[in-house]
Structure 1
Amino acid sequence: MAEKLRAAAALLGARSDTPRLDVELLLAHALGLTRGDLLLRQRDLAVPAAFDRLIERRLAGEPVAYITGVRDFWTISLRVTPDVLIPRPDSETLIEAAIEHFGNHAPADVLDLGTGSGALLLAALDQWPMARGLGIDISSGALAVAKENAARLGLSGRAAFRIGDWAEGVRETFDLILVNPPYIARSVALSGDVLHEPEGALFAGAEGLDDYRRIAPQLPHLLRPHGMAAIEIGYDQRESVSALFSAAGLLVEVRRDLAGHDRCLVVRKPVLR
C-alpha cells in the first residue's frame, strides 16, 4: 500500500499543492474509512480497484471535496456538491470573530446570508447549542445541500432555510449575522479547484463589490443593538468594503486569517448614549 500511495502522490504533484493529503483522503473514501482510521490501519489494508478511478478524477482537476462529497469545517463535517462552494479554513475566521465578540454570552438568533452548504450557520449552531438560525440562499440546489447537512448534524430543529436574494423581505432581527458573499472581480483569471465551483458564488461584478453594495444598506435593519455581523472579504478589499458599511452608519473592524490576510469585517451598530 505504501508504494501505491507514493506513486499516486507523485502523479498528483503537478495538480495539487497537497498531493499526499489528497491521496490519503481519496483512499480513505474508497475504503469507507476516515483518514485517521486509514493511517492507523494502512498496513493491514489493500488498495481497492475504485481508488485508481478517484485518482483519475483528481488528475482531471475535480476537487477532492466534490469527489468524496465531504468537507470538514470548524467542529462539523459537511456534505458538499458542485451546487455549493467548498468550505475553507479561511472562513472559520468569521466564527472566531463571533466567539470573541460574544465571549461568555451567546447569540440567540443567527442569520447566514448566502448560506451555501450551511457551513457558517451550522458551525454557529454547533458552537452555541441554545441558538436558532436562518440560512438564506438564492440557489435551490444549495439550500437542498444545507438542509441535508442540518439533518445529518441533528440541527434541523434549530435551523430554518429560505430561498431569497440576500436579505430582501427579511423582517426579523438577529444577534449574529454571517455573510460570505461572492467577492471576486469578473476580470480575475481563476485556476485550480475553484474552476469547478459555482460561478454565481464566486464573481461579483467588475470590482468584486456588487453584492457588498446590496448587503450594506440592509444590515442596519437586521442587526440588534449589541449584536455583530461577520463578513468575509478578499485579502485586498479591506478599505473598499469597509467604506460601504461605514457609509451605512455601521462601525467596522477587521480580523485576519491564519495566513495573516485581511479576511473578516466585524460590523456593529454604534452604541447610543
Structure 2
Amino acid sequence: MSSPKPELTSQYDAFGQKYTNVFKAMPTAALETANLRAILTPYLVPDSRVLDLACGTGYFPRLYLQWGAASVVGVDVSPVMVAAARQQQQTSSSSSEMEKENLQFQVGNALSLGPLPEGPFDVVTGNWLLNYAGTEAEMTQMFASIAANLRPGGVFVGITPPMVDQKDMDAVVAETKDLYRDERRAAVLGYRITYLHRVDEGGLHGGGWEVELSAGRDEDEKVTFRTFRFPRAVYEEGARRGGMKGRLEWCKVEMVPEARAAAGEEFWREYAASEPHMALMVVEKGNE
C-alpha cells in the first residue's frame, strides 16, 4: 500500500478527533446519516465485508457494524485521524467486543491504494472522499482504488458534494457566493462555504472549483479545510474509467424526521435557501 503524500494529510493531521466533534454535532450530520443508512443497509447482507475510504476517526465504520456489516476496514490518508479512530475503539465504553474484533483502521491513500490483503470487499464506501480529487485524473485514480478492492458485483456508496451539470456549475457558484458570505446566515448554520477559484482548466469538462469549508461556532473548535467540486460528468466518467462498469445512480436526499428534529426551523430555512450540501452516489462494479 502506497504511503500518502504529506500534502494530503496535513489538513487533517491538525484536527484529529476535533473534526468529528464539530461535524457530527451539526444538524446536517443527521441528514447525512439517515440518508446513507437508507441507501446502504440493503447491501449489508449477512457476512458483508465493507471498506470505508476517508474513514476519519471511525464514525461511519462503527455505524456500519450496527447496521449489519460483518466486518469493516477503515482507511484514511491522515495518520492522526487513524490514531484517533484506534484510540476511541480501544478506550470508549461504548465499544463492543464485536467492534474490537471486526473493525480495523489503517493509513492509506485512495489515490494509489491498490488491493488490500483484507479484500476483496462486498461494499466500498466513501463519505466525503471524492471531493478530495483535485483533477479529473485523480477522480479516475480514486475509482480505480475502489474497483481494485471490490469483488465482482460489489457496490460503491458515497456522500459527495451536490451535483450539477457543467453548464450550470458556474451559475450555481455565482448565485451562492454572496449567500455564503452572509454573516448572519453563517452564524445560524454554523458553517461557511467559500468558492476560491477554478481548477483543472485543461480537463475535458472545463474544470471545477476549489472550495474552502469552515465550521464551528467557537474559535477553539473551528475546523477549516479545502476540497474540490466538479460537475457530474467528472464523477461519472471517473467511475467508468476507473473500472466501475455497472449501474450508476444518484439518489435523492430526503428530509427525514430525525434530521428535522436536530435543529430548529431557522436553521432549516437558511439551509433550504441554497442547494443541498450533499448528494449520494451509488455505483456497481459490474461482473467481470
- Deviation of 1:204 (Å): 4.3
Unmatched tracts of structure 1, length 5 or more: 1-78, 185-202
8 Å contact kept, 2:158–2:280: yes
Aligned to 1:111: 51
- The correspondence for 1:126, drawn from 66, 89, 109, is 66
Q: Which amino acid aligns with 2:253?
A: D
Q: Which amino acid aligns with 2:145?
A: Q
Q: Which amino acid aligns with 2:101?
A: G
8 Å contact kept, 2:244–2:285: yes
Q: Which amino acid aligns with 1:86?
A: F
Secondary structure, aligned partner of 2:286: coil
For the aligned residue pairs, the C-alpha RMSD in angstroms reads: 3.0
Distance (Å, rounded) in 2 between the aligned partners of 1:168 and 1:226? 18
Aligned to 2:105: 161
Alignment of 1:184-195 (within 5 A): none
Q: Does 1:142 align with 2:158?
A: no
Aligned to 2:18: 81
Residues 67-88 of structure 1 show CA distances to partners (whole Å, capped at 9, x for unaligned) of xxxxxxxxxxxx9424887242
Aligned to 1:13: none
Residues 121-151 of structure 1 show CA distances to partners (whole Å, capped at 9, x for unaligned) of 11101111x6111111121211122123333
Distance 1:242-1:90 versus aligned 2 partners, 3 A rule? farther
Distance (Å, rounded) in 1 between the aligned partners of 2:285 and 2:55? 23
Distance (Å, rounded) in 2 between the aligned partners of 1:210 and 1:222? 19
8 Å contact kept, 2:130–2:142: no
Secondary structure, aligned partner of 1:81: helix
Q: Which amino acid aligns with 1:242?
A: E
Distance 1:270-1:212 versus aligned 2 partners, 3 A rule? same
Distance 1:126-1:249 versus aligned 2 partners, 3 A rule? closer
Q: Which amino acid aligns with 1:119?
A: Y
Secondary structure, aligned partner of 1:156: helix
Aligned to 1:219: 146
Distance 1:91-1:250 versus aligned 2 partners, 3 A rule? farther
Q: Which amino acid aligns with 2:234?
A: S
Distance (Å, rounded) in 2 between the aligned partners of 1:90 and 1:214? 29
8 Å contact kept, 1:94–1:178: no
Aligned to 1:49: none
8 Å contact kept, 2:75–2:107: yes
- The correspondence for 1:256, drawn from 252, 264, 274, is 252
8 Å contact kept, 1:113–1:135: yes
Distance 1:183-1:98 versus aligned 2 partners, 3 A rule? closer
Distance (Å, rounded) in 1 between the aligned partners of 2:148 and 2:130? 23
Q: Does 1:170 align with 2:116?
A: yes
Aligned to 2:38: 96
Unmatched tracts of structure 2, length 5 or more: 1-15, 164-230, 256-274
Secondary structure, aligned partner of 2:155: strand
Secondary structure, aligned partner of 1:147: helix
Distance (Å, rounded) in 2 between the aligned partners of 1:158 and 1:238? 35
Q: Which amino acid aligns with 1:255?
A: C
Higher relative contact order (CA 8 A, sep 6+): 2
Residues 21-62 of structure 1 show CA distances to partners (whole Å, capped at 9, x for unaligned) of xxxxxxxxxxxxxxxxxxxxxxxxxxxxxxxxxxxxxxxxxx
Distance 1:219-1:232 versus aligned 2 partners, 3 A rule? same
Secondary structure, aligned partner of 1:266: strand
8 Å contact kept, 2:158–2:281: yes
8 Å contact kept, 1:183–1:211: no
- Deviation of 1:106 (Å): 3.2
Q: Given the two structures, how large is their TM-score scaled by the length of structure 2?
A: 0.51
Distance (Å, rounded) in 2 between the aligned partners of 1:156 and 1:242? 36
8 Å contact kept, 1:112–1:178: yes
- Deviation of 1:221 (Å): 2.1
Distance (Å, rounded) in 2 between the aligned partners of 1:91 and 1:147? 23
